Amino acid sequence: MQSDSAPVSSTVEQLVETFDGFLIDAYGVLVHSDGAYPGASAFVERLDRRDVPYRVVTNDASRLPSTCAEKYRSHGIAVPDDQVVTSGSMLTPYFESHGLDGASCLCLGTSDSHDYVDQAGGRLVDADVPFDVLVMGDDAGFPFRETVDQALTHLFHRFDADDPVDLLLPNPDQFFQRSTEDYGVAIGAIAAMFESILEDRYPDRAPTFERLGKPNPTMFRHAARRVAQELPQVSNPDILMIGDQLNTDIRGAEEAGLKSALMTSSHKRWAEASRASGVTPDYLLDGLET
Ligand SMILES: [Mg+2]
């Protein structure tokens, strides 16, 4: 579902007046790796003061929600632990609905990424032993070259034997913003590299990763339900997603039937990207300062 009309330039003040609740992306909206964006702390305080419920919705699968919240608080943004929804936490409903409880899992990522798999019911194994599920959690926290080569070797053995492995990608982001000026390669790009290799070797039956994080609308609906639970007096609450990425934040919000606002201060070439992707936000927000 694509918005029919051109996006409307708006301000934080206007949006808080208009909407009952918010989903807010973390990186590129509230924070970058070095700190908070101007106005981020005041925006969250304003929501709290007015009892407007919100969830921070992040594709982070390298940190638990409590670790994420602690990080935001260290940048002066007072987000409680239970107001954070991460793509890593979407592993639990996936394992439940696909009968993966007890499955042997190789998880590439940090110790928090491993905790997500453990909490979902997966049995963590090392890269040098067979596994039934490959979870690509984060680009950090493991010896990169050695681990990806071992993982790829096992995938080839299994797909050669027509005994496929489940491929899960909580965070499909291809890159991340390291600081206001610097960027880094994210695990989504490593998964895309694996898909390219598998496509090359198995052109007729190439497997792809199941992407659990944004733009998967399941994650937006999950977070929106939690916001709506705090608004029992509103029968059909209007909830707005604020993000900086068209293909994850804005596309997923649209598919989940939510209105969206794009932070143009973090995405200067958004108009060109919007034309190319066919994804149009409802609102444009040039920063969080009032
Ligand atoms: Mg972002």
190-248 pLDDT tens trace: 999 999 999 999 999 999 999 999 999 999 999 999 999 999 999 999 999 999 999 99
Specify the DSSP element, H or E, that contains 220.
helix 217-229
pLDDT of residue 67: 95
State in Å: Cα 16 to ligand 1 middle: 20
State in Å: Cα 95 to ligand 1 middle: 26
Summarize the confidence of residues 262-290 as an average pLDDT: 88
Between CA 205 and CA 199 the distance in angstroms is 8
* Ligand 1 is an ion; residues with CB less than 5 A from it: 25, 27-28, 244
Instruction: Cite the residue boundaries of each domain of the chain with CATH code 3.40.50.1000.
Output: 8-87+214-285, 101-211
Q: Is-contact 279 2, C-beta < 8 A? A: yes
Summarize the confidence of residues 163-170 as an average pLDDT: 96
State in Å: Cα 39 to ligand 1 middle: 16
Which is more confident, 60 or 114? Answer: 114
State in Å: Cα 202 to ligand 1 middle: 33
pLDDT of residue 1: 45
pLDDT of residue 187: 94
In this structure, what are the phi and psi dihedrals at residue 107, rounded to the nearest 5 degrees? -115, 120
Tokens read off for 148: 């990806």
State in Å: Cα 155 to ligand 1 middle: 31
State in Å: Cα 29 to ligand 1 middle: 6
Closest CA to 2 of 281, 284, 235, 273: 281
Q: What is the DSSP letter of 27?
A: B
Summarize the confidence of residues 122-126 as an average pLDDT: 98
State in Å: Cα 249 to ligand 1 middle: 7
**Quick check: 2 pLDDT over 60?**
no
- Helices 144-160 and 187-201: crossing angle, nearest 10°? 40
Specify the DSSP element, H or E, that contains 200.
helix 187-201
State in Å: Cα 214 to ligand 1 middle: 10
Fold of 8-87+214-285: Rossmann fold (3.40.50)
Q: Is-contact 6 271, C-beta < 8 A? A: no
| Cα–Cα distance list, 185 to 107, 146, 177 (Å) | 18, 18, 9
State in Å: Cα 105 to ligand 1 middle: 28
Which residues have C-beta within 8 Å of that of residue 18, sequence separation ≥ 6? 238, 240
Fold of 101-211: Rossmann fold (3.40.50)
Between CA 272 and CA 259 the distance in angstroms is 21
State in Å: Cα 206 to ligand 1 middle: 29
**Quick check: 119 pLDDT over 90?**
yes
State in Å: Cα 244 to ligand 1 middle: 5
| Cα–Cα distance list, 178 to 109, 134, 186 (Å) | 17, 26, 10
Q: Is-contact 241 258, C-beta < 8 A? A: yes
Instruction: Give bridge partners of residue 166 from the DSSP assignment.
Output: 133
Which residues have C-beta within 8 Å of that of residue 170, sequence separation ≥ 6? 59, 61, 86, 87, 88, 90, 91, 113, 116, 135, 136, 137, 212, 213
Between CA 57 and CA 148 the distance in angstroms is 28
State in Å: Cα 59 to ligand 1 middle: 8
pLDDT of residue 142: 96
Taking the alpha carbons at both ends of the chain, their separation in whole angstroms is 30
State in Å: Cα 158 to ligand 1 middle: 35
Q: Mind listing the pLDDT tens digit for each residue in 72-94? A: 999 999 999 999 999 999 999 99
Summarize the confidence of residues 31-51 as an average pLDDT: 94
